[in-house]
Chain A
């Protein structure tokens, strides 16, 4: 009955209320399905970026409906599907790491490159190079991108030991140094447990809340998220409410900044402390080394070759790379300082020393970057498609001979 009808019913007709809600839900669902199809070019499956994993915290969600990020059924960022069973004679390389390898993007970036597609990460370029290499002629070649954004060595090591070791790769290449070493450490941070490798991963906090917490709020969130895996309208509403809540909290934090930023005696003491001491640097690196040692030992026992890749950061290159105009403009938005660069360089040297001593190859693009004025960086540390090809060529050059010798044995 319309609002303008002269004699509205006395009570609420609950059947009509339920029917109206059902019609609204159906209309919202149809509109959301259409919008997601226009956005991604495929029907809605899920808008969740990740799935929980018992080891290595999370994996990429194969059901992710996205135009730029294609995830195959095992959670690898790839336009090609892989199977765990390895065909005889196959040359299989697994790349493990964080967002540099995944080709995720940070906030400030070169917009003209858009997103780096799943066909333009380091893995497909390396696969094409190995497949075209006469030393591997006649062999099926697989290069698997098993990266997950913000993976540290903690997550990479557990994912490798539990899962990827059993994929029988001929070669494992470990990226992800940025997530272990990029954040500036001050004196006392290590003792306080405030370093990248000691703190709980942000996804771990989400895991604790969503899986282990049994409050009403956690229950409601689980119910909503479960619905969002089956309904495009709920998935979009969920994304919108997360964005709204994040925006509100950011505004609140900005408004509260004058009060919260007031230096207490503790804060001013922390501000006065300089970078970590040489002893703290060594102790911090030992945390990384203990995980890396475990990976090297496991690879050797399984008869797999292993190599590690150092990830240079644009802000720490200290004029080493001839910058393209795009990279020069990026540099203005990147926080950098001589002390920060020195700390990163100390870690780079320790990285080389660790693996040189262990007889493990290191691929470090730092020196090779001197030779290119191409736009390699798309933001403070991730690569453009050309940058991914550049790093793939470096890996091919440095490890091709070793791989050929291995297959010849």
Chain B
């Protein structure tokens, strides 16, 4: 028996997990092998990659808004 659809609760769960990790790190419960400045660099790189992807897809969605008859985008 498989779940058939990606569950909607997954996104809040991921957000919660990230928030918990951040809190644990701030409180000193989680020791990372990175200095704060290095952590900022990692976060910035991840943000830039994610932002590029969303911007590219945003451009596609503006050009061709998803309607009932677009049976799955590429």
Seen from chain A, the residues whose Cβ lies within 8 Å of a Cβ on chain B are: 1-5, 8-9, 12-13, 16-17, 20-21, 24, 35, 38-41, 48-50, 67-68, 99, 104, 106-107, 114-115, 149-150, 202-203, 205-206, 209-210, 217, 220-221, 224-225, 236-238, 241-242, 244-246, 248-250, 253
Contacts and interface: CB of A to CB of B under 8 A. Distances in A.
B57 A12 contact: no
Contacts of A249: 58, 61-62, 65-66
B53 A248 contact: no
A17 B56 contact: no
A67 B59 contact: no
A245 B34 contact: no
A17 B64 contact: no
A211 B6 CA distance: 29
A3 B25 CA distance: 8
16 contacts: A1-B34, A4-B31, A8-B37, A12-B38, A39-B5, A41-B2, A49-B74, A67-B4, A68-B4, A114-B4, A149-B71, A150-B71, A209-B60, A224-B56, A237-B50, A242-B61
Contact of A242 (B46, B57, B65, B71): B57
A16 B33 contact: yes
A68 to B, nearest CB: 7
Interface in B37-57: 37-39, 41-42, 45-46, 50, 52-57
Given A17-B41, A245-B57, A248-B61, A39 B2 contact: yes
B32 A3 contact: yes
A114 to B, nearest CB: 7
Contacts of A245: 54, 57-58, 60-61
User: What is the interface of chain A mostly: helix, strand, loop, or mixed?
Assistant: helix
B54 A241 contact: yes
B35 A1 contact: yes
Contact of B65 (A4, A209, A250): A250
Contacts of A246: 61, 65-66, 73
A50 B70 CA distance: 12
A13 B71 CA distance: 46
A206 B33 CA distance: 44
Query: 10 tightest A-B contacts by CB?
Result: A149-B71, A245-B57, A49-B72, A2-B31, A249-B61, A8-B35, A245-B61, A246-B66, A41-B2, A245-B58
Interface string B4-15: 111000100000
Nearest to B67: A202
B74 A225 contact: yes
B65 to A, nearest CB: 5
A400 B57 CA distance: 49
A13 B37 CA distance: 10
Contacts of B69: 150, 202
Nearest to A115: B4
B66 A40 contact: no
Given A13-B38, A115-B4, A217-B59, A210 B64 contact: no
B42 A206 contact: no
A75 B36 CA distance: 50
Contact of B36 (A3, A21, A107): A3
Q: From B34, B50, B56, B66, name the one whose CB has the most chain A CB atoms within 10 angstroms.
A: B56
A67 B58 CA distance: 28
Contact of B34 (A17, A35, A202): A17
Contacts of A13: 34-35, 38
